[in-house]
A and B are shown apart, each in its own frame.
Chain A
Amino acid sequence: MEASAKISHTSALILQTIGLGYAYGFDLMEATGLPSGTVYPALRRLEKESLILGSWEEKRSAFNQDRPRRRYYRLTRHGREALAGALKRYPLLAQLAPEGKESKPVRR
């Protein structure tokens, strides 16, 4: 079965939001309006299906700013394909897209 056929509307929304540059859990919650109890399990599922890839922030940059390291998520090639399929499957998804991360003030 194709990956896009399996992903739910919520997962597709999260994929789309990650694709727009929102990289960590709380950022995704703020952009999508979904609660943490939905976003995090969805992230685990998407990561398990290799649609996203989670990686820890570099030690040095966090250490220099005296803060704990964050875990960032990004789309994999497989995830981008799944997102393209999901956008066909859920045409209204594009309307739910938050504005791109680049155009928003960045939280440290």
Chain B
Amino acid sequence: MKPARPIRGLIWQSTLLLRAASLLVPKAQRREWYREWYAEVWHWAHFLLESGHLNSKTRLELARHCWGAFADAAWHRYNQEQFMRALGEAPLSAKFCLTSISLLFFFAILVSGFAPTVRSAFSRLPFYQPDRVASLSFHGNFSHYHEGTLFIP
């Protein structure tokens, strides 16, 4: 079951990724999990070789697929859905829900204050009457000048 010579490097790289991802999988399921992924990668790499589609693009594609092993491994470890269901099934009151949303809302406002665009949009302008501010320039373009626009008291 030794991989063909031209794809040994590719298999080796993929194996490395899979081994790293497998550390996330609980020990009891790790062996089977790794075997499934390894078999998929092995077949995919051989298919690329035999069909003449082995190039840098397909190698990268295979590496990207291997990255998905981390998501799969994490699912085994944390089983997010179970967690979300457990949270959803807990008997929580409407008051709790409203308080959570309010807290989240105020937290978002608080955090957004640090964003430069938000801060400048809400900060006070340095002019007393911004609608009466005139800009003077020695190099200005007056092609759009209309009579009566310029007001000098």
Contact = CB atoms under 8 A, between A and B. Distances in A.
B39 A70 contact: yes
B111 to A, nearest CB: 28
A3 to B, nearest CB: 14
Interface string B38-74: 1110111011001000000000000011111111100
A37 B67 CA distance: 7
B22 to A, nearest CB: 13
B75 interface: yes
Nearest to B81: A45
A67 B2 CA distance: 8
Contacts of A66: 1
A29 to B, nearest CB: 7
A68 interface: yes
Nearest to B80: A41
A88 interface: no
Interface bin, chain A: 20 to 34
Contact of A26 (B35, B43, B81): B43
Contacts of B70: 37
B65 A29 contact: yes
Nearest to B62: A26
Interface in A31-78: 35-41, 44-45, 66-71
Interface of B: 1, 35-36, 38-40, 42-44, 46-47, 50, 64-72, 75-76, 81
Given A26-B43, A29-B65, A70-B39, 12 more contacts: A25-B36, A26-B40, A36-B71, A36-B72, A37-B67, A37-B71, A41-B72, A41-B75, A67-B39, A67-B42, A68-B35, A70-B36
30 contacts: A25-B40, A26-B40, A26-B44, A26-B65, A29-B65, A35-B65, A35-B68, A36-B64, A36-B65, A36-B72, A39-B68, A40-B68, A40-B71, A40-B75, A41-B71, A41-B75, A44-B72, A44-B75, A44-B76, A45-B81, A67-B1, A67-B39, A67-B42, A67-B43, A68-B38, A69-B35, A69-B39, A70-B43, A107-B47, A108-B50
